Amino acid sequence: MKIGIGSDHIGFALKEEIKKFIEETTEHEVIDYGCHSSDPVDYPDVAFDVAQSISEGKIERGILICGTGIGVAIAAGKYPGIRAALTHDTYSAERAQLSNNAQIITMGAQIIGVEVGKKVVNAYLNAEWAGGSERKVNKIIEKENSFTNVLLEDMKGNKCS
């Protein structure tokens, strides 16, 4: 499986440790979307890149890290079709996949340490969607599609003649 990983500058050190952990303990391919140093980076830019790559089928899952994990979760979740779940323990990481088919998990570098982060990632990567809560997930998808359809219709009605 191709896993995209990204962070802002606050999450950089944890991202590097998680990337190394995945590469050393699994057969998954890791694609690093940045950042690549502790120089300031705006987390939405990285989150949008990972979300877009999932949407385009370039990667299958993503891991995003910022200070709290909240900002990257919000940013990635703005991308159509993306379900990003904030996770700081193994149970929420596992449920992100099993119950919600989340394509992305997010973590806060100022909230959890490296060892907990590794356990969270391991739980997420070892969980497979088997249709749990499918009815609920479909409701989320349907609502998102209804907003997208309204937006498209609105755009058609505002065309310049």
The amino acid at residue 106 is T
CA distance 161 to 147: 25
Contact in structure between 33 and 25 (CB atoms under 8 Å): no
Q: Residue 66 catalytic?
A: yes
Whether the CB-CB separation of 83 and 103 falls below 8 Å is answered with yes
How far is residue 77's CA from residue 74's CA, in Å, rounded to a whole number? 5
Q: Which residue has the tokens 């998990």?
A: 105
The set of residues, in sequence order, having a beta carbon less than 8 Å from that of 128 and lying 6+ positions away, is: 97, 98
* Active-site hit among 18, 41, 46, 66: 66
| DSSP tally for the chain: helices H, then strands E | 6, 5
Which of these, 57, 83, 78, lies nearest to 138 by C-alpha position?
Answer: 83
Token code pair at residue 77: 């979740």
Catalytic residues: 66
